[in-house]
Structure 1
Amino acid sequence: MPAPEYGRSLTGLGVNLLVRDMDRALAFQKQVLEAEVVYADPDFAVVRGYGASWMLHADHTYSDHPLTGSLTSAQARGVGVELRLHGCDPDAAEARARARDDTVLAGALDKPHGLREAYLVDPDGYLWVPDVPVAADEGGETP
């Protein structure tokens, strides 16, 4: 689909992630998150999984963007934002991240808000939180 047509087709909340190395970013998306790459080239990718889709843009595609000065920093990107993938098995995603030597900020745990989740950092420093519901006990409480 041509870029202008694709752009006009977008609705709702859109997520664009700026990445230093497209191949490395896509490897994390596929191998750790088990997301589907709908389209990819050296500049841009569309990724889909768990009822959502998001886009990756290579840093150089933002050369005329107001964020350009922020991209040269070695700091993690998206600090303060959690990219949650509801329905992505956190235990399996954590195991895949560890096998690739990615950063596991926190391993899979059951949380009081009813989700089992892990905190995984991708090669660009974005925080991904795969989660699944925890089964409630007979009283409706999360164990």
Structure 2
Amino acid sequence: MAEDKGEFPSGEDYGRSLRGFGINMLVRNVARSVAFAREVLLAEVATADQDFAVLRHRVDGRVLAEWMLHADGTYHSNPLPSLIAPDGPRGAGLELRLYAIDPDAAVVRARARSDVILAEPADKPHGMREAYILDPDGYCWVVSRPLSKNQG
């Protein structure tokens, strides 16, 4: 599954470049999680192999979100896996939110893949239309777009 969109820096250089806030997600199968991100979230794959991936969400050509996937085995010396049940969903209590994605279209794509729709698209009082979709590892992705001023 090796994939690299353009020149991706070495692991050391990439690590040194990180700033701000980061998201690392432990996943059982990187390829399966990359497929979900591409097909449902319309994410861009910066780099991916069987153990690691970097995914990006762009709006109007700008990267607005970037997150990493790590296969469970890559965290062999990290304490986090001790908190994860061997089976069942991961990320309980965590919402991963991507803005500027049509929730109705995302649910159609997720349904076509037989992903779990936790909440159907709905207009919310905080001015967003959003849907809740579980990825293959049970992480909850909330995709949304702003409502027009006449909606909601």
Same fold, TM exceeding 0.5? yes
- Which of 66, 80, 92 is equivalent to 1:79? 92
Would you say how many aligned residue pairs link Structure 1 and Structure 2? 139
Number of the residue aligned with 2:6: none
The answer as to whether partners of 1:59 and 1:71 remain within 8 angstroms in 2 is no
The answer as to whether partners of 2:31 and 2:49 remain within 8 angstroms in 1 is no
TM-score where L is the length of structure 1:
0.93
Deviation of the 1:73 alpha carbon: 2.5
The one-letter code sitting in structure 1 at the alignment partner of 2:115 is D
Q: Distance in 1 between matches of 2:106 and 2:100?
A: 11
Number of the residue aligned with 1:101: 114
Deviation of the 1:55 alpha carbon: 0.4
Give ranges in structure 1 of 5+ residues lacking alignment: none
SS at match of 1:107: strand
Q: Distance in 1 between matches of 2:84 and 2:73?
A: 9
Structure 1 residue 53 and structure 2 residue 66: aligned? yes
Number of the residue aligned with 1:126: 139
Q: Distance in 1 between matches of 2:32 and 2:46?
A: 16
SS at match of 1:88: coil
Q: Distance in 2 between matches of 1:75 and 1:101?
A: 17
Number of the residue aligned with 1:136: 149
Give ranges in structure 2 of 5+ residues lacking alignment: 1-8, 59-63
Structure 1 residue 34 and structure 2 residue 42: aligned? yes
Q: Percent identity?
A: 53
Q: Mean alpha-carbon deviation: is it higher for 50-59 or for 63-72? A: 63-72
SS at match of 1:37: strand
Deviation of the 1:72 alpha carbon: 4.4
Q: Distance in 2 between matches of 1:15 and 1:55?
A: 6
SS at match of 1:25: helix
The one-letter code sitting in structure 2 at the alignment partner of 1:62 is Y
Deviation of the 1:99 alpha carbon: 0.6
The answer as to whether partners of 2:127 and 2:147 remain within 8 angstroms in 1 is yes
